[in-house]
Each structure stands twice: as structure tokens, then as C-alpha cells.
Amino acid sequence: MAYLAFYRTFRPTSFDTVVRQEHVVRILKNQIESGKVGHAYLFCGPRGTGKTTLAKIFARAINCESPVNGSPCGKCPTCKALSGSGSLDISEIDAASNNGVDEMRDLREKVQYPPVAGKYKVYIIDEVHMLTQSAFNAVLKTLEEPPRHAVFILATTEPQKIPATILSRCMRFDFKLIPQKDLEELIKNVLTKTGKEFENEAVSAIARAGAGSARDSLSIADMCASYSTGKLTYNDVSAVLGSADFIKIAEICRYILSEDSQNALTAVENILSTGKSVGVLVKDLLTFLNNLAIVKVCRTAREIINLPDEAYDVIQDVAKLCDGHKLLRVTEILAKAETDLKYSTSGRITLETAVLKCSLPEQDYNIDALIGKINALEKKLENLKSLPAPSPVSAQATAAPPAQPQTATTGGLCEDEDIPPFDLAEPAAPADSKASAPVQPALWDEAPAAPPGGSLTENDKRTIFAKILKSLRTTHKNAVLFTLCMDLITQFEGDKLVMITDNESVCKALNRADNYSFIGGVVSEFGVTEYEIRFRPKGESDFDKALGELKKNFGGTDITIK
């Protein structure tokens, strides 16, 4: 006898051996036991969830002379007559290849003949959504009022394609995807019955690849059992599925989350050069990122992922490199790349572009990228906070001048914080070193703040905004304000400091009462007594704005521009 695949050899023959679908099984069993058998059923749901299997069991059970708990006994003459493939009372029709009106007219004529061995004549029409509109119309009346001995069971994966006139004449049962835990139990039972040893991690990998389908899971298990000559391992399953090496996938994700674009792109090229499919590589990256999310969120992550210990340790190590926003952003980019691959003529370029975008968040204006930048700044400030305060130096060694008032080195913002001041100035030269010539002061170098109310020099106006930014970045609390102010354009109107942005959201945030008051306290330390945060749309100049104000204020006057 020819070899039978696992999913055919171990196909359930009774309701009790069906994997899940309890809601369908219970209704069918109760109908059989009470004798209330309908005339038309519609089984719809994903592939490999048991639609055809339950249809065959139900067809034999309603004809069985002595059902056992609703299932066919398999011992009576009727069960034996219906168990073979040549039975005239159970007809299986493939609607994909018999989808014309002539086939349905032929069925309408044959349904009038009574059954040969049992009480009912059952017609199982698989992939019924493939029938043409004319074929549906031909069987419509028969489906509504068939002979008393006829039962129709329609099976489909796409119920939305079936006309409403057909749906309204059937009892509809929606099949669900099978949970991974139940698939694992099914695979273990099958491998045990065939005498194949296995690792639990290998079974979990097969169940995950099956994606809720019992048939797909058993087909993969069949291939893996033929591939492995000894004990079935996790590496054997990965080899059969064509997945890239786990460590290499982890390496790519590590480079991406560390924002190392060069090494990330190199690692991708190395894998693709071995002949791995671009689509499979994207799927493997998304699976790894999904495991990262589970590790960061779920307390029982080890049980959910169910990977070998060394693989789980790698995932834990990579998870430390990212926060939720960065992980979400990278996952969304690669998920979009997976969709784009269906319409791309160059999958390699699509993937590499996505990898570069993932590892270069500073070039991305996505909200998750911006939040990731802020989080990175906060972590750096946390590291500064953990540094010990500089030790005091004796006056004799440094010959320090008399103490001056607080300047913008700390910006006067550390008084209520537990953050020690962090001196950004260059260390003093040794006493015996040769005096060096003075150099041009850098933009960030500070001069004593002008007294409040004093007039500002042109040099003060050129450097004052840099000093304000430095003052804002000195405390962990104001990292967000520092980030919002970085892209402002500044100008002076007399002694009034005007900070301009083309982002209306940034303008509203900075003009909020608490932020506006805080910034006012900062700028006043540098002698600025009046300031304004102004919104200017892109492309609008000061001249355009002034002209607009004139036209608004003198609406009845002709204004000539020369």
C-alpha cells in the first residue's frame, strides 16, 4: 500500500477525537441524539481546521444504526458500507473543478434517488464558493426544499463570496483556528504513535509554523520526521522550514536596535548571499521582534515562547537594547516591508531600505522615532545623574578667583533637583605647564550673564540662544523642553528675543503656561527681559508677515509695494 501522509493517516473518525471546535461538535451530536437533523449545513473557516473531517463524521453518524455518544460506531453494516470510498450514499464534490451549471443540474437530478445503505444521502460540496452564479441559481431551489432523505454539507474558506440566498438556507458553523497548545498535543501524539523521538522545542516550532491549522502542522511534522534520522531537534525543524540561523537573526536585530546601520546592512547581505529568500528573512525578523515584545511584556514569556534556553537568553539580552516605542517602530517598518514585497520587483532593495530606515531613527520624523530620541536623551541624563559630584579643589592649588554668581553652567535649574552639578569646562592646566595663547571661545562657552534689565551687546545676542539651550539640557526634568527648542530660529527685535518655529504643535506646547513661565525664568538669567515664541508657516518671511499685518490693520487703504 502507498504511504499515507500524517494528516490522512491520523484523520479523526469520531467526534471525540476532533481537535477543538467544541461548539460545532456539541450541536451536531445533540442533533444526532435527538433526531433533529437539518437539510443544509455550511461549514466555514480557515484551512486545516476540520471542516471536511467533521462533515464526513457527521455523514456517517446520521446513517449509523447505533451511534455511540453521537459518533458512528464503525461496527454496524451501514458504517462498514459507508467507510469505503465507493459509497453511493456519501458523495464528495469538489466545487473548484465542478463549478458549472451543468454539474449542479446533474446533482439536482440524482438527489431524487433514495439512499442505498443508510437513511440519508449526503452531499459534501467542498470549496463551494468556487461555484458560478449560474450554478448557485441551479441548486438554489433544491437546497431550500430537498427530498427528506437528502442532506447537503457545504464547506468553504471564503463565506463572503457565497450569495446571501444560499447563506439564508443553511445552518452556518464558523470554525476557529486551533490554539498552539492543542496543536502541540496533536503533534506529540502523532510522533509518539510513529515511534519518533522529539524535543519539546521542536514540537513548539512546528505548531507555530502551522499557524492554527492541524493539516499544515501535521504536514510539517511529516517532513521533519523524514528529515531527521534520530531525535527530532529544534535545529532540524528550522532547517526544514528554511529559516535563517537564529543567532544571525538575533545579530541583525541587535544591530538595528543599536542603530548600527552599517553592520545591520552587512549582516542582511551575508544571509541573502547564501540563497535565503527575502520573504523568509523578513518573516524571521518579525518573529524575533515578536518574541522580544513578549519578553518585555509577559511575565510567563519563557513558557509562551518555549525556545531552547540558550535562544531565550539571547532574546533577553537583545531586549535590553530597546524600549517599547523603538520596538513598535521597527516592527511596523518591517511589517510594511513584508506587505510591499508582494508588489515589488526587487525584494532585496525593499528589505535593505527597511533595515536602513529601522537603524536610522534620526532620519525619521515618525512620532515613535521622536519619542525614542527623547528616551535616549533621558537615559544619557540618567547616566550623568549617577556620576559622583566633582571633588572640591583647594584654593591654593587652583588659585581660584572670588566666587561669582550662578551662571548658565547649571542654568539655575538644579536647586530643586537631586542632580549634582556637572562641569563641562576643560580641566585646568597643571601649574608647571606653559601658558598657552587664548583661543576663540566656542559657541557653548559662557560669559557672565548680563544683569537683569541691562542692554545686550551684539555678541550677547549671537551666543545667547546657545547658552539657553545648554541651560535647558542640564537637568533631566527639562529634556523634553530642550528637544522642542533645538530647531527654533531666533532673532532680536531690539532687546526682545523672538523664537520662531514652523511647527504649530511645538509652538502651542512651548506657549503653554507652565512651559512659557519656565523658559521666561531661564532667559531672564541672561539679561533677556522680553521674549516671544512665534509660529511662522513654512515659506512665510518677515516681510510677508509685516505686509499681512498692514493689510489687516488698514483694510480700506491701498498699499503700494516699491
Provide the 10 A C-beta neighbour count for residue 164.
Answer: 7
Q: Per the domain annotation, does 447 fall within a domain?
A: no
Beta-carbon contacts of residue 46 (< 8 Å; ≥ 6 apart): 157, 175, 177, 212, 213
Beta-carbon contacts of residue 245 (< 8 Å; ≥ 6 apart): 238, 271
Model confidence at 445, in pLDDT bands (50, 70, 90)?
Answer: very low
Average pLDDT over residues 306-310: 84
Model confidence at 551, in pLDDT bands (50, 70, 90)?
Answer: low
Beta-strand relationship, 171-174 and 150-156? unpaired
Model confidence at 299, in pLDDT bands (50, 70, 90)?
Answer: confident
Mark which of 241, 265, 287 sits at the end of a domain: 241
Can you tell me whether residue 204 is helix, strand or coil? helix
Degrees, nearest 5: CA angle 117-119-125: 90
Domain range enclosing 223: 179-241
Residue 306: the pLDDT is 82
The CATH number covering residue 501 comes to 3.30.300.180
Residue 395 has pLDDT above 60, yes or no: no
Q: Per the domain annotation, does 497 fall within a domain?
A: yes
Q: Which amino acid is at 533?
A: I
Residue 100: the pLDDT is 87
141 in the same domain as 128: yes
98 in the same domain as 15: yes
The CATH number covering residue 104 comes to 3.40.50.300
Residue 44: the pLDDT is 94
Model confidence at 322, in pLDDT bands (50, 70, 90)?
Answer: confident
Question: Which of 144, 151, 81, 93 shows the shortest CA–CA distance to 122?
Answer: 151
Residue 296 has pLDDT above 80, yes or no: yes
Q: Per the domain annotation, does 445 fall within a domain?
A: no
Residue 66: the pLDDT is 86
| In contact, 401 and 394? CB cutoff 8 Å | no
Q: What's the grid cell of residue 71?
A: 459518533
Residue 550: the pLDDT is 65
Mark which of 200, 222, 241 sits at the end of a domain: 241
Model confidence at 367, in pLDDT bands (50, 70, 90)?
Answer: low
487 in the same domain as 365: no
Residue 254 has pLDDT above 70, yes or no: yes
Residue 412: the pLDDT is 39
142 in the same domain as 96: yes
Rounded distance, CA 8 to CA 165, Å?
Answer: 34
Beta-strand relationship, 496-501 and 489-493? antiparallel
- Provide the number of structural domains found in the chain: 4
22 in the same domain as 165: yes
Model confidence at 495, in pLDDT bands (50, 70, 90)?
Answer: confident
Q: Which amino acid is at 67?
A: P
The CATH number covering residue 222 comes to 1.10.8.60
Q: What is the pLDDT of residues 71-119, one digit of tens each?
A: 888 888 888 888 776 778 888 998 888 888 888 888 888 898 888 888 8
Question: Which of 44, 14, 27 shows the shortest CA–CA distance to 175?
Answer: 44
Q: Per the domain annotation, does 415 fall within a domain?
A: no
Q: Per the domain annotation, does 286 fall within a domain?
A: yes
226 in the same domain as 119: no
Backbone dihedral region for residue 527 (phi beyond 0: left; psi -120 to 50: alpha; all else: beta): left
Q: Per the domain annotation, does 192 fall within a domain?
A: yes
Mark which of 384, 400, 415 sits at the end of a domain: 384
Q: Per the domain annotation, does 140 fall within a domain?
A: yes
Q: Per the domain annotation, does 449 fall within a domain?
A: no
191 in the same domain as 150: no
223 in the same domain as 85: no
141 in the same domain as 80: yes
Q: What is the pLDDT of residues 45-70, one digit of tens each?
A: 999 999 999 999 999 999 998 888 88
Q: Which amino acid is at 7?
A: Y
Rounded distance, CA 518 to CA 528, Å?
Answer: 14
Q: What is the pLDDT of residues 28-41, one digit of tens each?
A: 999 998 888 999 99
261 in the same domain as 295: yes
259 in the same domain as 200: no
| In contact, 363 and 317? CB cutoff 8 Å | no
165 in the same domain as 30: yes
Q: Which amino acid is at 427?
A: P
Model confidence at 370, in pLDDT bands (50, 70, 90)?
Answer: low
The CATH number covering residue 273 comes to 1.20.272.10
